[in-house]
Structure formats: structure tokens, C-alpha cells
Amino acid sequence: MIADNTSGFGSPELIGTRTPAFTIGTAAELLGVSQAFLRQLGANGLLDPGRSTGGHRRYSQYDLGLASQARVLVDEGLSMDAACRIVTLQVELAYARAEIAALHQQLQDSSERQAAGGRRRGHDRGEMGDR
């Protein structure tokens, strides 16, 4: 399931909070879709809404972002299955890109530390040679 992932349109923060707050009726109204549409997204594995103590679905801003992306694709004529798969792949791609960026940053930081250490060692050797 994608509930732990993010939007394919950028950083994980772009979609919003994952606190389940919206009832299915409110979520459907905000998105301009039917409640059945949201249930289908859940059945297709795109959404995994939280549950209230009474067992009712509660959707987060994150869920609404994913559902909105799926709705755009369905409105463009894609099947529900295809839309869910595309959003899933966008989410996975966003995570992969974020991971690559983090690894590049770690590599750059490591290279800078190594270069600074080499300069320091060279400087230390120069001082000892002058004595």
C-alpha cells in the first residue's frame, strides 16, 4: 500500500499531514468525488485511511492529495487501476529521488570532510618540518 509514501510531485512534505481527520463524506465533498470513488481507491491499494474508534474511515490531507492525483488521471480517461498504479509509481519515484539526493549530499559532505582532513594533515606536516 502507498499510505506510507508521498506524492510523485516533489518532496514528502508537499502532500500535507497524515493525521486522519476527514470523514469519507467530507473528503468526497472536498475532492468533488463520490464516496464510492474513495472506497475504490482503498480497494485498489492506493489509500489506507485511518479509522475512528467507531470504525469509520478517516482521511488525512495526505490521502486527499493522493486521491486528487488519481481523480485527475481518471478524469483524463484512465481506468481506476491505471490511475492508482501511476500515482503509486509517482510516489515511489519521489522517494527514490529524495533518497538519491540525500545520498549525493552525504557523499559531498564526506568528500568535503576528507578534503579538509587532508589539508589539515598537510598543514600539520608543514609545521613539524619547520621546527
Rounded distance, CA 108 to CA 123, Å?
22
6/73: higher pLDDT: 73
Which is nearest to 65 in space by CA: 125, 129, 2? 2
**Region 93-112 average pLDDT:** 95
128/77: higher pLDDT: 77
Residue 5 has pLDDT above 60, yes or no: no
Domains annotated for the chain, with CATH where assigned, are 12-93 (1.10.1660.10)
pLDDT value of position 126: 61
Q: Grid coordinates representing 56?
A: 469509520
- What tens digit of pLDDT does each residue of 12-69 get? 554 568 899 999 999 999 999 999 999 999 999 999 999 999 999 999 999 999 999 9
Pick left, alpha or beta for residue 77 (phi over 0 → left; psi -120 to 50 → alpha; otherwise beta).
left
